[in-house]
Amino acid sequence: MTGGVLVVGASQAGVQLGASLREHGYDGPVTLVGAEPQPPYQRPPLSKAYLGGAADSASLELRDQAFYANRRIDLLPAERVTHIGRGTALTDQGRVLDFDHLALTVGARARRLTVPGSDLTGVCYLRDLADAALLRRHLTRARHVVVVGGGFIGLEVAAVARSDGRSVTVVEAAPRLMARAVAPTVSEFYRHAHARRGTEVLLGAQLTRIDGEHGRVAGVSLADGTRLPADLVVAGVGVVPRTELAEQLGLACDGGIVVDEFARTSDPSIVAAGDCTVMPNPVTGEGRVRLESMPNAIAQARVAAATLIGKARPYADVPWFWSDQYDLKLQIAGVADGYDQVVVRGEPESEAFSALYYRGGELLAVNAVNRTADYLVVRKALASRTPLPADRAAHADVPLKDLLVATPAP
């Protein structure tokens, strides 16, 4: 290959970046290279429909082969870029890829456990399809599942395992669940919701060791002396952005590859998008956030593509996320960092409620549980910068959409 755009990371962001380049009319070569053996696929269902057996790997494919061919996107799977220099990249297959423009969509890896016993058979992670396939095999035979980490991934896996009839214990080091993503009220709701469905949730619990027999997981030990039986341990303890290539290139990294609102790295000729990046908070503009989500990967990849072809426009999307646990659909819009007020609409006990976050009276975000209408209204309000006054939003019997109409932007 000669010249053109090299996209490193055949991920959701990588595919979108290539597709967006073509939509913008970019006519040069586009090469999409990725280390995983299969064509690019959707990750969110791995911890949901795929793990539960409702989706197979073929149904996860992002695009048909013809899609890449028709758009002249040269897809190189099973090939890892190991070195990048000025205008040239080298892969582990010994291939040399020349480029005019570089985009990094390399994602993140699952953070590994380091306690003794972490290398036993039956310790699983969930990040890519290979992880999910292995976990699914283990899960069919498991009786006692210990999930380490009470974030989205851990709780989604716990929900699938419990729904499948396993005994499940969630071990979370923090004092509450999903602490990075939701307010204490919502954390507390999920603790109860999991407990009601028979999953044990241990908070403030520190894993000290995984106990084994004949090389296989047999249990776990906690700092307070508790021992739990386990034949499967699933760790969902966060991710580590893949910054190695960016560091090789001398790009600024700070818990991710640092990009601006145009998806430009500290070398403005190189863009990056998706889970590997930290970006300016798109809601407040203050500070940087890492938005680990598919919608962000897509939105940021679009911005990066526009930047590469010289039609730069800033990131303007309202971040959103979702998590499916049992029959509970959690939908999040916005970024709640720095909130000083939470308004709860509806009764958490009814398993349909929402929490709206404000700072100095300004709307920041929503967490909606089985309350899609509230999620959508907040998303719309954030996108159009329409205020939804907290005192009025607190009346749960008034549809939030009425406020959207009644309080136009000043």
Partner 1 sequence: MPTVTFVSIDGSRHTADARVGESVMAAAVRNGVPGIIGECGGNASCATCHVYVGEDFMPLVGPPGDLEDDMLDLAVSDRRPTSRLSCQISVTDALNGLAVETPKEQP
Q: Is residue 63 a contact residue for partner 1 (CB under 8 A)?
A: yes
Q: How far, in Å, CA of 34 to CA of 126, rounded?
A: 18
**Residue 176 or 302 with smaller CB distance to partner 1:** 302
* Piece of the chain touching partner 1 by CB under 8 A; list 187-195, 205-213, 258-266, 319-327: 319-327
Q: How far, in Å, CA of 34 to CA of 223, rounded?
A: 40
**Residue 321 or 358 with smaller CB distance to partner 1:** 321
DSSP-assigned states of every residue in 78-142: S--EEEEETTEEEETTS-EEE-SEEEE---EEEPPP-STTTTSBTEE--SSHHHHHHHHHHHHH-
Q: Which residue in 1, 24, 38, 42 binds partner 1 (CB under 8 A)?
A: 42
Q: Which residue in 320, 326, 353, 357 binds partner 1 (CB under 8 A)?
A: 320
Cα separations in angstroms, 120 against 124, 218, 315: 9, 9, 43
* Cβ at position 321, least distance to partner 1 in Å: 9
Q: Is residue 207 a contact residue for partner 1 (CB under 8 A)?
A: no
Q: Is residue 64 a contact residue for partner 1 (CB under 8 A)?
A: yes
* Cβ at position 83, least distance to partner 1 in Å: 33
Q: Is residue 83 a contact residue for partner 1 (CB under 8 A)?
A: no
Give me 199's structure tokens. 């999953």
* Cβ at position 108, least distance to partner 1 in Å: 19
Q: Is residue 407 a contact residue for partner 1 (CB under 8 A)?
A: no
Q: Which residue in 89, 263, 273, 298 binds partner 1 (CB under 8 A)?
A: 298
Closest CA to 233 of 142, 326, 104, 314: 142
Going edge to edge, which strands form the sheet with 144-148? 123-124, 232-235, 144-148, 167-171, 200-202
Q: Is residue 50 a contact residue for partner 1 (CB under 8 A)?
A: no
Q: Is residue 62 a contact residue for partner 1 (CB under 8 A)?
A: yes
* Cβ at position 48, least distance to partner 1 in Å: 9
Q: Which residue in 57, 70, 269, 384 binds partner 1 (CB under 8 A)?
A: 70
CB-based contacts of 294, cutoff 8 Å, min separation 6: 12, 42, 43, 44
Q: Is residue 291 a contact residue for partner 1 (CB under 8 A)?
A: no
Q: Is residue 372 a contact residue for partner 1 (CB under 8 A)?
A: yes
CB-based contacts of 185, cutoff 8 Å, min separation 6: 342, 344, 348, 355
What are the b/e assignments for 325-335, b being 16+ CB within 10 Å? bbebbbbbbbb
* Cβ at position 380, least distance to partner 1 in Å: 7
Q: Which residue in 61, 98, 100, 211 binds partner 1 (CB under 8 A)?
A: 61
Give the gyration radius of the chain's Cα atoms.
22
CB-based contacts of 245, cutoff 8 Å, min separation 6: 8, 81, 84, 104, 106
Q: Which residue in 5, 19, 246, 270 binds partner 1 (CB under 8 A)?
A: 19
CB 223 within 8 A of CB 188: no
Q: Is residue 377 a contact residue for partner 1 (CB under 8 A)?
A: yes
* Cβ at position 6, least distance to partner 1 in Å: 22
Question: How many residues in the shown chain lie near partner 1 by CB under 8 A?
Answer: 28
Q: Is residue 232 a contact residue for partner 1 (CB under 8 A)?
A: no
* Piece of the chain touching partner 1 by CB under 8 A; list 56-64, 165-173, 212-220, 260-268: 56-64
* Cβ at position 204, least distance to partner 1 in Å: 32
Q: How far is CA 236 from the centre of its chain?
A: 12
* CA neighbours closer than 13 Å in the CB half-sphere of residue 282: 25
Q: How far, in Å, CA of 52 to CA of 163, rounded?
A: 9
* Cβ at position 409, least distance to partner 1 in Å: 18
DSSP-assigned states of every residue in 279-321: EE-TTT--SEE---SHHHHHHHHHHHHHHHTT------PPPEE
**Residue 91 or 331 with smaller CB distance to partner 1:** 331
Residues at the interface with partner 1 (CB under 8 A)? 19, 42, 44-45, 59, 61-64, 66-67, 70-71, 294-295, 298, 320, 322, 324, 329, 331, 372-373, 375-377, 380, 401
